[in-house]
Structure 1
Amino acid sequence: MKGFREFLLRGNVIDLAVAVVIGAAFTAIVNSIVTAVINPAVGALFNASSLEHTWVLTIPGVGGAHAELHFGSVLGAVIQFVIVAAVVYFALVLPVNRLRKLAFKRVENDVEQPPADVPPTDVEVLLEIRDLLRQQQGITGQAAGAHVAPTDAPTGPGISGTTKL
């Protein structure tokens, strides 16, 4: 039972269920538009009551039977597909792609551009002072890598010790 609950509560299952329900409702709307508005309008162009009764080809058969091919009905299905594809593209795909592009650009800008006029850290300033002192005293080679060590003189608040380079 625990595994089944985890399966149902995963994000993908919920998203898919919502998509199916919205898709079914959207299909009903598109079918209504095609059946009630587009089919009669196109049918009127061809002198028929609806698109389903347009471009009907009757094929005579054996023994008086015949078959009817309804090309207007196929045209209605193509129109319905184009309407669904256009609405999905312009209402869903295009806006989501724009949002992704903006979000990616925003993240890219945040990563690529360091903050302007950032003061150096204490460590960077101390390293720069050390290097300048070494330059002034002419210390090079192995001595340049040595760190500054205090003498045996006591140091502390108010007491200044001397250091060797």
Structure 2
Amino acid sequence: MLKGFREFILRGNVIDLAVAVVIGAAFTAVVNSIVANVFNPLIGALFRADSLDTALVLEIPTTTGGVAEVRFGAVLGAILTFLIVAAVVYFVFVMPMNLLKQHAEERRKAGEPKPEDPETELTLLAEIRDLLAADRAAGPGTHRAE
């Protein structure tokens, strides 16, 4: 039982997944801070509100005499957060990795010898013809040793 657990834990994909979760959590904190401290105040200033959560609020009276709030600003903030995360992931991780892979593939292809044309039956027959013609030209009773 412990052997199976040890094999499970030491599998490469489990460790990679654990690292990804930890890095993702730390990265989420950074992105949330950027959105909360940079983008929300800028957009809130455009709508004359402290943050997107209080910007673009639609108040709807309820039948009980209260007020329900529809917070379009909070939805806009969530969309911006998603777009910022997607942009950072793409430009910081995906694009550089794709460029590295492309560069490595180009270097690998440049280092490989170019394949020669494969021998066909026609080229082999032409070689045999040429060898037979050379033997005939050398005279009877002589054979080439190769």
Find the aligned partners of 1:38 and 1:105 in 2 and give their Cα distance: 40
What residue is the counterpart of 2:43 in the other structure? Answer: 42
Find the aligned partners of 2:46 and 2:139 in 1 and give their Cα distance: 98
Find the aligned partners of 1:138 and 1:52 in 2 and give their Cα distance: 102
Q: Which has the higher contact order (CA 8 A, sep 6+)?
A: 2
Whether 1:11 and 2:15 are equivalent positions in the alignment is: no
The SS at the match of 1:59 is: strand
The SS at the match of 2:24 is: helix
What residue is the counterpart of 1:56 in the other structure? Answer: 57
The SS at the match of 1:58 is: strand
- Unpaired segments ≥5 residues, structure 2: 116-130
Displaced runs of 4+ in structure 1, greater than 6 A? none
CA drift of 1:28 comes to 0.5
Larger Rg: 1
Question: What's the CA shift string for 1:23-65, capped at 9, x where partnerless?
Answer: 1001001111111221111111111111111100111111212
Give, as a single letter, the amino acid of the residue that structure 2 aligns with 1:93: V
Aligned CA-pair RMSD: 2.4
Give, as a single letter, the amino acid of the residue that structure 1 aligns with 2:93: L
Aligned length: 128
> Which runs of structure 2 are paired with 1:82-161 in the superposition (5 Å)?
82-113=83-114, 134=135, 136-138=137-139, 148=145
Q: Normalized against structure 2, the TM-score is what?
A: 0.77
| Identity within the alignment, % | 55
CA drift of 1:108 comes to 1.9
